[in-house]
């Protein structure tokens, strides 16, 4: 999605940028919910990476934004292993 923003111009770019900003705000909100529930530092870091990616995208620095989103995904995925193990340990999975 973000890779395509660089291909747009004018009103299309303006509208797509707004939509993308809303998407990133929603993503950050979901990550913050996970952080508040689990209190895992990985989620806090991921939220910061998403926020930073939104700033970079707003400056049309799409390559940097993509890199930051990849880092955010890695942080969330790292915590996923811990979460799965916790569920298994408590016979919830």
Give pLDDT tens digits for 52-91.
Answer: 999 998 898 989 999 999 999 999 888 877 777 877 888 8
Position 34 pLDDT exceeds 90: no
- Mean local confidence (pLDDT), 40-45: 92
Tokens for 67, please give them.
């890199």
- Mean local confidence (pLDDT), 16-25: 92
Q: What is the pLDDT of residue 1?
A: 74
Q: What is the pLDDT of residue 30?
A: 93
8's CB contacts (< 8 A; 6+ apart) are 16
Using DSSP, state whether 7 is helix, strand or coil.
coil
* Domain range summary for the chain, segments of one domain joined by +: 2-89
Top-confidence residue, 45 or 37: 45
Q: What is the pLDDT of residue 84?
A: 77
């Amino acid at each position: 999605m973000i890779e395509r923003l660089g291909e747009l111009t004018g009103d299309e770019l303006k509208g797509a940028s707004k939509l993308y900003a809303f998407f990133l705000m929603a993503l950050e909100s979901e990550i913050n919910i996970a952080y508040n529930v689990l209190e895992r530092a990985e989620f806090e870091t991921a939220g910061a990476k998403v926020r930073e990616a939104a700033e970079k995208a707003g400056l049309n620095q799409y390559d940097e934004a993509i890199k930051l989103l990849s880092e955010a995904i890695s942080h969330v995925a790292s915590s996923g292993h811990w979460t799965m193990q916790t569920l298994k340990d408590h016979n919830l999975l």
